[in-house]
Homo-oligomer: A and B are copies of this chain.
Amino acid sequence: MVSVSVKDVAALAGVSLGTVSNVLNRPDRVAPGTRDRVLAAIDELGFVRNEAARQLRAGHSRMIGLVVLDVGNPFFTDVAIGVEQAAAGAGLSVILCNSAESTERENHYLSLLQEHRAYGVLITPVAEQNPRIEQIRRRGIPTVLVDHGTTRRQCSVSVDDVVGGELAAAHLLAAGHERIAFLGGPLGIKQVADRLAGARKAIRAAGVDPFRLTLIETGAMTVAAGRAAAERLRAVRGDRPTGVCCANDMLALGVLQDMTRHHVDVPGELAIVGYDDIDFAAAAAVPLTSVRQPRVQLGEAAATLLIDEVERPATHQHRQVVFEPELVVRESTTPAAGAR
């Protein structure tokens, strides 16, 4: 295998390096005849541009880094699809990095993206504050926070998690549940903390003692963690909660799985509200009531803000885009309407 470069193309077409480069990047500046000759040479040699060389010259790459908490969670893959759509429109590609809720892995990927001189970074950080993010910004790589609160110092896109938590809890309260549990974690994750705060707010607003909320902190936001937490929920002494707000659908599915296995009727003995409304929520053992987030749009908005920051640094203003969540009611909180 011989690697062919612009030099080879230029030689075959009988022009200079610069002309080949112009054909590739500013075709209008090249006379049609010459252009065709160069294109023919490219075709004949099977020339493919070397991105590394372009990047070296340009000083930065054309790759957006997207750092998410869990690739196994359809919420994030949907966000990724949105990012990819917006990126493709600008000729950019996306590199998906899975921090798996580990700050160590998160930092590893941030280093990697820095070494690659990434075009920009979209990140849902594990912890509230990660100094590495600020550091990367200072090095000239813009960042946008995804689904993670707001800061003045950079752009962010998010869904109002306090409102979401409120919607979920208010729905349970309206259905007559008084003993409510909140399940999620680690609590250091901002989304979890906000959704919990929202749930507490709804409880206070309903005039119920907020301490009636049973908090069950999980180590992760996966189906397996949900199953484990459900066990603890079943073990609650005294009056067991009759409704539970889960910080995401994965947890909710885990809880549902465990309850079904232990013959706890859902929603009869326990009503469950999920969060994210992933596609699988509607297909669950008992279709899940869930708080829907505009996942794809979230990704699109994040990428668009990033691109604006890079392409129009003069006029760019940091913006905080906040979407509104929406409650989707299904059978995990209301007795089945149809035959069963």
Contact = CB atoms under 8 A, between A and B. Distances in A.
Nearest to A287: B285
A48 B279 contact: no
Contact of A50 (B49, B56, B98, B260): B56
Nearest to A4: B139
A52 B61 contact: yes
Interface stretch (A25-33, A72-80, A193-201): A72-80
A43 to B, nearest CB: 13
A56 B53 contact: yes
Interface residues of A, number: 53
A129 interface: no
Interface string A263-304: 100000000000000011011111100000000000000000
B61 A71 contact: no
A125 to B, nearest CB: 20
A52 B116 contact: yes
A55 interface: yes
Nearest to A52: B55
B72 A72 contact: no
Contacts of A282: 257
A111 interface: yes
A115 interface: yes
A52 B48 contact: no
Contacts of A257: 282-283
B117 A52 contact: yes
A116 B116 CA distance: 12
A284 B117 CA distance: 43
A15 interface: no
A114 interface: yes
Contacts of A98: 81, 84
Nearest to A95: B95
Given A52-B52, A52-B61, A56-B56, A283 B280 contact: yes
A7 to B, nearest CB: 14
A-B CB proximity, top 10 nearest: A52-B55, A1-B140, A253-B283, A52-B56, A51-B115, A280-B280, A257-B283, A51-B116, A96-B96, A71-B77
Given A48-B139, A52-B117, A260-B287, 5 more contacts: A3-B59, A51-B116, A284-B284, A285-B286, A285-B287
Interface of A: 1, 3, 46, 48-53, 55-56, 59, 61, 71-72, 74, 77-78, 80-81, 84, 93, 95-96, 98, 111-112, 114-117, 135, 138-140, 223, 253-254, 256-257, 260-261, 263, 279-280, 282-287, 338-339
